[in-house]
Amino acid sequence: MTESIAHRVRSYAQGAPIMHDIRFHAAIAELPAAEWDALRADPNPFVSHAFLAALEQGGCILPDWGWQAHHLGLYEDGRLLAAAPLYLKGNSHGEFVFDFGWASAWERAGGEYYPKLLNAVPYSPVPGPRLLAGRDARTPFLQHTLVEAMRAEAERLGLSSVHANFLQETELTAFGNDWLCRSDVQFHWHNRGYRHFPDFLAALNHKKRKNILRERSQVEASGVAIEWRSGETLSRDEWRQVHALYEATFDMKGNHAALTAAFFQRLGELGPIAQLALARHGEHIIAMALFVQSDSALYGRYWGASIDVPGLHFELCYYQGIEYAIAHGLTRFEPGAQGEHKLARGFVPVRTHSRHYLVNKDFRAVVAMALAREAPAVDAYAAELQHHNPYANRPER
């Protein structure tokens, strides 16, 4: 598919009919970058036109890997009013909201679960805007129109389902009652006006503070040198080394390293969006943590190491990130999906949200019952985590 697919729909705003053009695009490059970025509710870098283009142009979005761009644009008189990053998915890899069980059940019943339609950012379990519709009085109406367009497209193509992952809370009302609700837990760090890292440590309870100091002292005693670098300052050879560490770490765990060296290079060309904590032994980079930054938040993404140094993973992926966020006045640090071990290092549980539309009503009813059983367990888990808050005075989010 190389050309956009378009059709017209009649929408209603305050009872008055409005004709919109809905187009589905096979590449993000078909959509106007400035207009796309202006529709973001916040400057979340993962839904920026440049980041999504880097994924596509860097060879990470391939049908053979289960990804085919099918981005949604809503137009009025040729102007982009709203949009959504959208993909035809041939599998459920790289999504981090796991529906393998649903796929298995549907296929055992004789159905075809794949391809499905996914509203998300590839390989990025980062909460953020998914329904890009600006920030004015028309936003709720436009978000609802996007949701209806995704559902209609799934039915037009004969797909099993539509999924919207890691939504912002302000987007949830755009999804009707026939969309299934799912929630999970991540661990985020929040800046409460800390002046420096010792100030943050002082807010923790004694046991957690002592453990962090011990882990940091192990790294210091190892003789490894640590530096922060902005992505645009790395040479091509340094980016090559960084990608090799990322790839080797995935290979070692038996996982597929989906992000290419070309994507890493392109990420480095996007200005200060990429930030890296590098560990060196002499002239060689022996470990790295790659972060993505917005004007208010830091996002931990990828880690890799060629040698085992006690405490180095925690140092690069967590403590360096916290120090950086404090020094640059960032309000929060999201280190990635899962990981109860983050709780002991100053991160607190937050809820994430997804919505799912299964075209077949009977299948939808079965999955709804399964989610009704799952939800109390997730709620109980989140409540239990609150009892292990690492802060001395248990500050609220």
The pLDDT score that the predictor gives to residue 397 is: 46
- Name residues whose C-beta falls within 8 Å of residue 90's C-beta, 6 or more positions apart in sequence: 63, 66, 67, 68, 114, 115
Is domain 192-330 classified as CATH 3.40.630.30? yes
Cβ atoms of residues 304 and 242 within 8 Å: yes
CB of 341 within 8 A of CB of 388?
no
Residues 56, 10 contacting (CB under 8 angstroms): no
DSSP H helical ranges for 110-168: 139-157
Residue 132's beta-bridge partner residues? 83
Give the Å distances, CA to CA, from 41 to 13, 45, 131.
21, 11, 9
Q: Do domains 5-185+350-386 and 192-330 have the same CATH topology?
A: yes
pLDDT per position as a tens digit, 23-65: 999 999 999 999 999 999 888 999 999 999 999 999 999 999 9
**Looking at residues 147-163, what average pLDDT do you find?**
98
Question: Which CATH class for the 5-185+350-386 domain?
Answer: alpha beta
Residue 354, beta-bridge partner list: 182
**For residue 319, is pLDDT > 70?**
yes
How far apart (Å, rounded) are the C-alpha atoms in residues 134 and 143? 9
* Cβ neighbour number for residue 281 with a 10 Å cutoff: 15
pLDDT at 15 over 90: no
The arithmetic mean of pLDDT across residues 205-219, rounded, is 96
Averaged pLDDT, 162-178: 97
Asked if the model's pLDDT at residue 6 lies above 60, the reply is no
Let me know: does 135 contact 170? Beta carbons within 8 Å: no
Which tens digits make up the pLDDT trace of 63-79? 999 999 999 999 999 99
The domain locations on the chain are 5-185+350-386, 192-330
- Tell me the mean pLDDT in the region 1-15: 50
Residue with tokens 């004694």: 206
Most distant pair of Cα atoms in the chain: their distance = 70
What does 303-341 look like in DSSP terms, one character per residue? EEESS--TTHHHIIIIIHHHHHHHHTT-SEEE--S--GG
**Over pLDDT 90: what percentage of the chain?**
87
Amino acid at residue number 39: L
pLDDT given at position 222: 94
Asked if residue 130 has pLDDT above 70, the reply is yes
Which pLDDT band holds residue 396 (cuts at 50, 70, 90)? very low
Q: pTM for this structure?
A: 0.93
Q: For residue range 348-369, list pLDDT tens digits in order.
A: 999 999 999 999 999 999 999 9
Say which residue, 131 or 256, is predicted with more confidence.
Answer: 131
- Give the residue among 354, 378, 239 at the shortest CA–CA distance from 302: 239
- 150-171: average pLDDT: 97
Using DSSP's 3-state secondary structure scheme, residue 16 falls into: strand
Tell me the helices (H) and strands (E) count for the chain, helix number first: 11, 15
pLDDT given at position 3: 42
**How many whole angstroms separate alpha carbon 75 and alpha carbon 83?**
9
Residue 1 pLDDT > 90: no
Q: Find all residues with CB under 8 Å of 308, minimum gap 6, and list them.
A: none
Q: If you compute the radius of gyration of the chain from its CA atoms, what whole number of angstroms results?
A: 22
Provide DSSP, 219-273. HHHHT-EEEEEEGGGS-HHHHHHHHHHHHHHHHHTT----S-HHHHHHHHTSGGG
- Mean of all residue pLDDT scores within the chain: 93
User: Who's near 220: CB < 8 A, 6+ residues apart?
Assistant: none
- Tokens coding 309: 């140094």
pLDDT in tens, 92-119: 999 999 999 999 999 999 999 999 999 9
In this predicted structure, what is the pLDDT of residue 283? 83
Determine the average pLDDT of the residues in 320-343: 94
% of the chain with per-residue pLDDT over 70 = 94
d(CA 125, CA 270) in angstroms, rounded, equals: 21
* Residue 18: band (very low, low, confident or very high) from pLDDT cuts 50, 70, 90: low
Provide the pLDDT for residue 255: 79
* pLDDT at position 5 over 70: no
Q: So what's the pLDDT on residue 20?
A: 84
Which residues face 323 on adjacent strands? none
Dihedral Cα 331, 333, 337, 338, nearest 10 deg: -100
